Amino acid sequence: MSADTAPRTSYDDFPYPGYAYWFTHPDHLGVLGSLYGLDTAPSNACRVLELGCGDGGNLLPIAALAPESRFVGVDLSATEIRLGMRRIGELGLSNIELVHADLRDLGDRLGTFDYVIAHGLLSWIPADARVEAMRLIGRSLAPDGVAMVSFNTYPGWHDYEPIRRLMAFHVASVEAIPERVQQARDVARWYCARVAREAEEVKGNLMVELHQRIAESSDSIIAHDYLSPHHHPFWFDEFAALSAESGLQYVASARQGRSRIGNFDADVAGMLRAIDDPVRQQQYIDFFSNTRFRTAVLCRSDRALDRAAGVERFAELFVESRTGTDVWHETLRDREQVSVITPVGGVAVQGLPLRITLSHLYRRQPVPIDFDSLFGAVLPELQLTGADEGRGNSEEGRAEMVVAMVKELARLYFMEVIHLWRIPPPMTLERGDRPRTGALQRLQAREGTTATTLGHRHTHLDPVQRQVLARLDGETSIDTLRAEIDGDVDDALGFLTSAGFLLAPGAD
């Protein structure tokens, strides 16, 4: 069946707004691939394919900042593709195309790509489409290409399965999607309350979590992710076998912290380290972590991977802080160590050199900096506080310090405390008189309550932030914004600057 003859899908009747997912960005995938020894393409000169791209909410912000790269998105929903193409037309982007097609009909006509993204697709399509999606990725990847495929997993999904089944069972004969969503929400709420009471010791916390998760989910997520007729969580080894059949092998997780062996207790970590088959090792990790969702980075099976990433590979990258804590803030200086909260839990940070370095990164967040400049910027303070232990005075000592710093930061990268870029996004903290953001960000601010930062982060905006962002065109002065917008423009500008919305001078 071709897309022209394809029946309307539920995504046509009830769209699923697309968002930016930072861990799908080709720069991130390229950095990860290169840390495992692949010769990956730079994100400013590469070819990217996204399967199940929806309205292009993930692909457009990347394409808008990489005019020399080429982007193709494919989706079965004509409505989603039309929405995305309208935006592409409004923005005048010539490096991106969204194709209305069933991925099962594509064959080889799209060519090869350095990066392939399939986010939120594999677990929600029928079995033949799952197999074909993986084959298509296998056929489409350039020799040193990198793919990111996300999917739901067991054993974690066993905890969620009863509620999903109940929601679908309850609305089986209800046609109208808004009604389906409302009734599914109601029955989920009753279920959580009842089971939490009946089996409090065993399921109390799980029900609280489930209830909260469903309450926070948008109607689109309820309609599609929870009520989809297709839902297939994978065991990791099953996914790895499907990948292998398609000529693909597992490289790493796009969200590293969740599956790092170093994050387990010593006895489990010891057992995991002794396993030399990466697939078995990852499957054990899923058992021990009760993993519910995976963001798997893949490459072609014929590439030899170097799984012991050398520190020297980090040295040419740009570093961005992603913590909400200044670990060298004057109120924290007398503490031996400071804990920073990351998406993978708390991480203890200690030692003056590391804390001073992280503090410098925190203060320039989210603008990335290269390691040399970072070291140059923190060295005077390291010397002043004696944190360099005299090594800052000799070339040899300074080289030792750089190696030590890169090692420490590499550990924190895998805990999502910092992020690494090869081609940093063109953002700045300098507002100037007439600040500027991208045309896409202005469009998003005019049309909705969320926008994508230049660092590819999905961000919610309040009404004043929206109005300000919509007018950051490089021509309107801050004084004009203050005069014409009802609200605290300076506060909004402060937020937009620190979130990473301001384009550096000279950036496209």
Footprint of ligand SAM (CB under 6 A): 9, 11, 16, 18-19, 52, 54, 74-77, 80, 102-104, 119-121, 124-125, 129, 224
Residue type, position 209, single letter: E
Specify burial of residue 219 (Cβ count, 10 A radius: 0-12, 13-18, 19+): middle
Q: How far is CA 243 from the centre of its chain?
A: 21
Packed helices 371-385 and 395-413: angle between N→C axes, nearest 10 degrees:
110
Nearer to ligand SAM, 35 or 74 (CB): 74
Which residue, 151 or 154, has its beta carbon nearer to ligand SAM?
151
Q: Can you read off the two tokens belonging to residue 415? A: 């805990």
DSSP state at residue 234? B
How far apart CA 326 and CA 340 sit, in angstroms, is: 9
Least distance (Å) between residue 119 CB and ligand SAM: 4
Closer CB to ligand SAM, residue 29 or residue 410?
29
User: At its nearest, how many Å lie between ligand SAM and the CB of residue 131?
Assistant: 11
Q: Are 61 and 95 in contact (CB under 8 A)?
A: no
Residue found by looking up tokens 């072609």 in the block: 300
The Cα 134–Cα 128 span in angstroms is 10
Is residue 189 within 8 A of residue 166, CB to CB? The reply is no
Helix, strand, coil percentages, rounded to 5, for the chain: 50, 15, 35
Q: To the nearest whole angstrom, how small is the minimum distance from the Cβ of residue 318 to ligand SAM?
A: 27
- The distance of closest approach from Cβ of residue 199 to ligand SAM in the complex, given in angstroms and rounded to an integer, is 31
Whichever of 23 and 318 has its CB closer to ligand SAM, that residue is 23
Q: Between 278-289 and 266-273, two packed helices, what is the crossing angle to 10 degrees? A: 160
For CA atoms 10, 12, 13, 18, give the dihedral sign.
positive
* Least distance CB 392 / ligand SAM (angstroms): 47
Q: How far is the CB of 336 from ligand SAM (least distance, A)?
A: 42
In the bound state with ligand SAM, the residue whose beta carbon lies nearer, of 355 and 456, is: 456
Q: How far is the CB of 103 from ligand SAM (least distance, A)?
A: 4
Nearer to ligand SAM, 147 or 401 (CB): 147
Shortest CB 118 distance to ligand SAM, Å: 8
The conformational region for residue 420 under phi > 0 = left, psi -120 to 50 = alpha, else beta, is: beta
Q: How far is the CB of 164 from ligand SAM (least distance, A)?
A: 14
Q: Which is nearer to ligand SAM, 51 or 192 (CB)?
A: 51
In the bound state with ligand SAM, the residue whose beta carbon lies nearer, of 120 and 257, is 120
Distance CA 455, CA 501 (A): 8
Q: Least CB distance from residue 470 to ligand SAM, whole Å?
A: 24
> What span, in angstroms and rounded, lies between the C-alpha atoms of 428 and 501?
8
- Kindly give the residue spans of alpha helices, DSSP state H, lying in 15-153: 26-35, 59-64, 78-91, 127-140
Q: Measured between alpha carbons, how far is 184 from 179 in angstroms, rounded to an integer?
A: 8
Dihedral through CA 173, CA 177, CA 178, CA 180, nearest 10?
30
- Nearest residue (CB) to ligand SAM, 136 versus 415: 136
> For ligand SAM, which is the closer residue by CB, 103 or 454?
103
The answer to whether residues 253 and 295 touch, using CB atoms and an 8 Å cutoff, is yes
